[in-house]
Amino acid sequence: MERPARTESPTIGELGESRTLARILPRLASGDAALLGAGDDAAVVAAADGRYVVTTDLLVHGPDFRLAWSTPFELGWKAAATNLTDVAAMGARPTALVVAIAAPPTTPAAVLEGIADGLHEGLAALAPGAGVVGGDLSASTVLTIAVTAFGDLEGRAPVLRSGARVGDVLAHAGARGDAARGLALLFAEGTDAAGEPDPERAAEVRARHPELVAAQLAPHPPVAAGVAAARAGATSMLDVSDGLARDARRIAEASGVGLDFDGEALGADLRVAFAGAEDHGLLATFPPGVEPPAPFEVVGRIVPAPGEVLIDGRGIDAEGWDPYSGWDGRSG
């Protein structure tokens, strides 16, 4: 999946906006829904049933990624993946992305080309037919990637967080805790003596734990499972990006019910599974008697305990990722 890094490249400051865009845009496809792609002041994207799902997300160097650990290709892939799962969680099929990048003028153009390649191949793998239809470039002291994603409901009602009912089956699709394990390894073994990210040590971590590091830096979420869940009659659903416990509580509070997880179904390391963020799996509920479609696995049930998250009937704390908690403002 990862492409080799270029050894020589002009900076985006040397090229300027127009020539930088000329290097990036040919690497991206507009996708099947684009009636008019990049090149004008705005794109035109088909919304066949008269509605569209829209979401946006930021990746900022420091709190969200470290260039010492991530390749540009991985950044592009992750930027696509994190937005595609939000669209999928509504039961929609992703159709288009708009991508804005702010970067220091000293950034090699090859970095933006790598991001574009990651976006392109991430879309091809996770949401075939979707594409990048436009965006923007700007200068900044910190590399920042902002993505807005659009999706087609294809005539279905959106699947909300507020639809779970007592008696529903609770099911999950995707990894549980792998991204957190990968990040913990990078912090523990991929840093120098001062605790700063170190590329050489990170490479050693990659070699020893390739799947866990990939789960953090270039996740492969079950995007297609969102539409499958909606077609199967899912009553509620969301993207698990901030930790299973924290996101489960969001369904519990929105629906006025309790989510009771089966500890055996979740596996041995419950703390990592519940507190670990950025797996970008899907958590959904289904009516009694409905078999959740693959790759969903039944992990619990909905009970009359409004706003509560439980394991085997006992309450737990809703740990997980909060961008404003525990961050000291240092760049990675």
Is 321 labelled a binding residue? Answer: yes
Q: DSSP code of 243?
A: -
Residue 209's Cβ-count burial label (10 Å; 0-12, 13-18, 19+) is: middle
Q: Are strands 309-311 and 258-261 parallel, antiparallel or unpaired?
A: parallel
β-bridge partners, 171:
284, 298
pTM: 0.88
Is 41 labelled a binding residue? Answer: yes
Is 247 labelled a binding residue? Answer: no
Is 239 labelled a binding residue? Answer: yes
Q: What is the pLDDT of residue 326?
A: 47
- Domains of the chain and CATH, by start: 15-152 (3.30.1330.10), 161-175+219-315 (3.90.650.10), 181-217 (no CATH)
Digit-coded pLDDT (tens) for 238-274? 999 988 999 999 999 999 999 999 999 887 677 787 8
Is 32 labelled a binding residue? Answer: no
Is 135 labelled a binding residue? Answer: yes
Is 106 labelled a binding residue? Answer: no
Digit-coded pLDDT (tens) for 196-249? 999 999 999 999 999 999 999 999 999 999 999 999 999 999 999 988 999 999
- Provide the token pair at 76: 């592009």
What's the first-to-final CA gap in the chain, in angstroms?
A: 24
Check if the beta carbon of residue 85 is closer than 8 Å to that of residue 239.
yes
Is 64 labelled a binding residue? Answer: yes
Is 95 labelled a binding residue? Answer: no
Angle subtended at Cα 86 by Cα 215 and Cα 66, rounded to the nearest 5 degrees: 40
Q: What is the pLDDT of residue 259?
A: 97
Check if the beta carbon of residue 153 is closer than 8 Å to that of residue 51.
yes
Is 152 labelled a binding residue? Answer: no
Q: How far is CA 292 from the centre of its chain?
A: 22
For residue 90, is pLDDT > 60? yes
Task: Indicate if the alpha-carbon torsion angle 238, 294, 34, 2 is positive or negative.
Answer: positive
Name which residue leads in pLDDT, 145 or 318.
145
How confident is the prediction for the chain on average, in pLDDT? 89
Number of H helices, E strands in the chain: 10, 13
